[in-house]
Structure 1
Amino acid sequence: MSKFISGRIAKFIAAAGICSRRQAEKMVLQGRIRIDGQTINTPVITVTPENVVEIDGKIISLIEQTRLWLYYKPVGLITTHHDPQNRPTVFEALKPYLPRVISVGRLDLNSEGLLLLTNSGTLAQELESPKNNFARVYKVRAHGKVSSLITYIIHNKSRPLTIDNITYTPKSIRLISEGGTNSWFEVILTEGKNREIRKIFEYFSLKVNRLIRVKYGKYDLGNLKSGEFKEVRV
């Protein structure tokens, strides 16, 4: 059964697997949440499982058990529930097979590999939290001359990079193989800034043409093939 006993409304909504606490707080401020028939306008409200909580008029219930899936996200799917451009999404692809799930972080349209999916907003927030410092490991294929990036790796690997006023601090970048005009690298990050790897490589005049996440914290892609998923113990 759910471990939720009492807590702030955003924690309740996350425990119900609807979204993260931050997103739940936004819903409250948008006037979308009712408790026992009353619309609320502040997230500073404590609820218990006995309260009736509604989102957009629909009663929500706590999940019975926290679950987690590993999914090999293919190229061409975006990690969002609603896309204004009507592009195919991860959640549409998985809807026939899984209950309502939340992604842990994102992979952009042209990236592939390991995406964690859970029915618990609380677990998603825990796995995404910067304070937990979970390593994300990527295999990256890039086109171009590697000399300037190799120089950075050798001489300045612990120095943060500032690109367009944004500071990036990759944990490590390692050349795996070099052949012809394409080279493979292993990149390890502990934070998930938007398009971080692509921007770092572009800074060194390299164009990423394949990006695969192979590990997130203790979870790895293993033998999963594109589009496959499996449930694992939390």
Structure 2
Amino acid sequence: MAEDAPDSERGERIAKWLARAGVASRRDAERLIAEGRVKLNGKPVEQPATFVGAEDLVQVDDRAVHEPERTRLFRYHKPAGLMTTHRDPEGRPTVFERLPPGLPRLISVGRLDLNSEGLLLLTNDGALSRRLELPSQGWVRRYRVRVFGPVDDRALKALAKGVTVEGVRYAPIEAGLDSRKGDNSWLTVALHEGKNREVRRVMTFLGLQVSRLIRVAYGPFQLGTLPEGAVEEVNPKVLREQLGLAAPVRRRG
């Protein structure tokens, strides 16, 4: 049995349980535990190795956490001007404040920065979120990028070999010119890693100013015609097929 696999007698490690319940990623759940914000049956949890059973009561910040439901994934068309976070210390509006009512507690698969827009995947399963973020998943993040400045086709093609910007090494990037009107151009850019502000930093390195950044695909999931601000659940069958699962995703209660 794997170290953190569910056990019929002991239950499941609480950090993983919280991740599957959509509270946070497993890493962030461990941080919540370390901060003393998690209780099990009324007592503070002191070790991430604590196990949760079917009859146990789990609380975060003194609020009960419902047992994990089935894994769900949603496509969301993020508008520009929203932070991809549950709380912003500067009081800026967030994605999760603007979601339509009636959705379960969700966390994002990766992030889009304040001024970026387009496809953002949301899930109620922290473990799935972490899995889909890993570069080893091999999923391409594809963007439409409007830039201001002279576009050098050779410089764009050279990105396919990877590039180092201010000491940060970026993996090969596919970039091509779609259209040009005066000093403004539209590019298609595809990444495999999706490091923090990668597109903007690489474009700046090329002497280009980004005026719009729209993510149109994350792996097999497309933005398509989803209206700005709208959320649409991925069909469970499609989710199973794309993740290579042979049976419906079931979660222990």
- Specify if TM > 0.5: yes
In the TM superposition, what whole-angstrom CA distance separates every residue of 1:154-208 from its partner, at most 9, and x where no partner exists? 3x33322111211112431111122211111111111121111000000011000
Match of 1:25 among 24, 30, 38: 30
Tell me, which stretches of 5 or more residues in structure 2 are unaligned?
1-5, 240-253
CA RMSD of aligned residues (A): 1.8
Change (3 A) 1:129 1:50: farther
CA contact (8 A) 2:162 2:173 kept: no
Q: TM-score, normalised by structure 2?
A: 0.85
**Match for residue 210 of structure 1?**
212
Q: Residues of 2 paired with 1:38 and 1:151: CA distance?
A: 62
Q: Residues of 2 paired with 1:153 and 1:141: CA distance?
A: 14
**Match for residue 229 of structure 1?**
231
In the TM superposition, what whole-angstrom CA distance separates every residue of 1:59-86 from its partner, at most 9, and x where no partner exists? 2122322222111101111111101111
Q: Residues of 1 paired with 2:37 and 2:19: CA distance?
A: 15
The 5 A counterparts of 1:30-179 are 30-94=35-99, 96-147=101-152, 150-154=153-157, 156-179=158-181
Of 191-200 and 40-49, the range deviating more from structure 2: 40-49
Q: Residues of 2 paired with 1:60 and 1:211: CA distance?
A: 36
**Match for residue 192 of structure 2?**
190
Of 94-103 and 187-196, the range deviating more from structure 2: 94-103
Superposed displacement of residue 144, structure 1: 0.0
Superposed displacement of residue 41, structure 1: 2.4
Question: Could you tell me which amino acid in structure 1 is paired with residue 154 of structure 2?
Answer: T
**Match for residue 250 of structure 2?**
none
Q: TM-score, normalised by structure 1?
A: 0.91
| Number of aligned residues | 229
Q: Residues of 2 paired with 1:214 and 1:95: CA distance?
A: 21
Q: Residues of 1 paired with 2:213 and 2:172: CA distance?
A: 15
Q: Residues of 2 paired with 1:41 and 1:118: CA distance?
A: 27
Change (3 A) 1:97 1:76: farther
Superposed displacement of residue 37, structure 1: 2.7
Question: Could you tell me which amino acid in structure 2 is paired with residue 35 of structure 1?
Answer: L
CA contact (8 A) 1:170 1:187 kept: no
Tell me, which stretches of 5 or more residues in structure 1 are unaligned?
none
Q: Residues of 1 paired with 2:100 and 2:62: CA distance?
A: 22
Question: Could you tell me which amino acid in structure 2 is paired with residue 164 of structure 1?
Answer: E
CA contact (8 A) 1:30 1:41 kept: no
CA contact (8 A) 2:176 2:188 kept: yes
